[in-house]
């Protein structure tokens, strides 16, 4: 994947009963395959398939159940369309099986912290690996007072450490993508600051993925429910792209690819590329 010249749109496909915005909608494999194909037709460049919700307070899912949810969907989409599929999981066994089934990217929101085998599996698979910042773990990440000395500096430091951990497991540096983890143990202000100062994360030298889609910071600003956050998401996507995002992870592929392309045109102009 060539980053820098364009923005990649990662379409979200949650095969879960409890995801915060689309939980239960695509819990049946057939519905999920249809939704994945629609995301691809709507302009998603990558489909990110997850079988375990990471929303605050979500209950962990056993590996067998996660595999039962995601594998038929990966296989079903790839039988009908050649599109890069990313597996959104914190479990090495799920990542391994997903790559064997044809997944072309691993999206580990724990940044190798939860499963000691994940680094080795990612290294062996040879596919791109997303490392995301999260404060603590999904169950507790929004609990208590959320305090950072300097949220951008701390996220950058965490991601720099995660990159080195991955490289020491044998993951090729060229395959690493970083993500500030919008909404993962952050206040509204932290999320806004991370988007506004995204350029500082580019100093890590790796492509930056941002996932603002329908998240609660948008709901808090606009006082709207997840399904009503389309325009707020478009604004967040545009801001992130303007500040240097290489990949945006979104539910609404068509609308967000349009927002991203216009923001990219402005960014390019500013960079004198035209």
Put the strands of the sheet holding 209-210 in their side by side order.
176-179, 129-132, 105-108, 85-88, 46-50, 8-14, 247-250, 209-210
Considering the complex, state which of residue 257 and residue 274 has its C-beta at the smaller distance from ligand HH2: 257
Identify whether 249 is a catalytic site residue. yes
Considering the complex, state which of residue 229 and residue 267 has its C-beta at the smaller distance from ligand HH2: 229
In the complex, least distance from residue 274 CB atom to ligand HH2, rounded to whole angstroms? 31
Give the whole-angstrom CA distance, residue 86 versus residue 130: 9
In the complex, least distance from residue 145 CB atom to ligand HH2, rounded to whole angstroms? 22
Identify whether 215 is a catalytic site residue. yes
Site string for ligand HH2, 23-52 (x = CB under 6 A): ---------------------------x--
Beta bridge partners of 108: 131
CA atoms within 13 A on the CB side of 249: 27
The catalytic position among 135, 215, 243, 267 is 215
For the chain, first and last CA: distance in Å?
A: 22
Contact residue for ligand HH2 among 84, 211, 232, 244 (CB under 6 A)? 211
233 near ligand HH2 (CB under 6 A): no
175 near ligand HH2 (CB under 6 A): no
Contacts 24+ apart (CB under 8 A), 57-64: 57/138, 57/139, 57/142, 58/18, 58/138, 58/139, 59/18, 59/139, 60/139, 61/16, 63/91, 63/93, 63/94
In the complex, least distance from residue 76 CB atom to ligand HH2, rounded to whole angstroms? 19
Give the whole-angstrom CA distance, residue 35 versus residue 86: 15
132 near ligand HH2 (CB under 6 A): yes
Closest to 77 measured CA to CA, from 24, 13, 128, 22: 13
Considering the complex, state which of residue 182 and residue 237 has its C-beta at the smaller distance from ligand HH2: 182
In the complex, least distance from residue 248 CB atom to ligand HH2, rounded to whole angstroms? 10
Considering the complex, state which of residue 78 and residue 209 has its C-beta at the smaller distance from ligand HH2: 209
Contact residue for ligand HH2 among 9, 99, 162, 209 (CB under 6 A)? 209
Give the whole-angstrom CA distance, residue 226 versus residue 189: 19
Active site residues: 215, 249
Q: Which residues bind ligand HH2 (CB under 6 A)?
A: 12, 14, 16, 19-21, 50, 53-55, 88, 107, 109, 130, 132, 179, 181-182, 209, 211, 249
């Amino acid at each position: 994947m060539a980053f820098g010249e364009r923005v990649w749109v990662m379409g979200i496909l949650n095969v879960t009963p409890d995801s915060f915005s689309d939980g239960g909608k695509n819990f049946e494999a057939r519905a999920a395959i249809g939704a994945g194909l629609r995301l691809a037709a709507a302009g998603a460049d990558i489909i990110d398939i997850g079988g375990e919700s990471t929303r605050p307070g979500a209950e962990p899912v056993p590996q067998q159940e996660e595999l039962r949810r995601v594998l038929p969907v990966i296989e079903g989409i790839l039988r009908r369309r050649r599109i890069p599929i990313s597996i959104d999981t914190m479990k090495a066994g799920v990542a391994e099986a997903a790559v064997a089934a044809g997944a072309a990217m691993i999206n580990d929101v724990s940044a190798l912290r939860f499963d000691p085998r994940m680094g080795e599996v990612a290294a062996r698979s040879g596919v791109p690996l997303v490392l995301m910042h999260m404060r603590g773990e999904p169950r507790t990440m929004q609990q208590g007072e959320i305090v950072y000395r300097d949220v951008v500096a701390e996220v950058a430091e965490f991601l720099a450490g995660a990159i080195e951990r991955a490289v020491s497991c044998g993951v090729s540096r060229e395959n690493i993508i970083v993500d500030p983890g919008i909404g993962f143990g952050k206040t509204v202000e932290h999320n806004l600051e991370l988007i506004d100062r995204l350029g500082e994360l580019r100093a890590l030298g790796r492509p930056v993925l941002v996932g603002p889609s329908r998240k609660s910071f948008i709901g808090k600003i606009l006082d709207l429910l997840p399904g009503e956050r389309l325009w707020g998401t478009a604004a967040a996507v545009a801001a992130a792209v303007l500040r240097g995002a290489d990949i945006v992870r979104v539910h609404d592929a068509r609308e967000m690819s349009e927002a991203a392309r216009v923001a990219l045109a402005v960014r390019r102009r500013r960079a004198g590329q035209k």
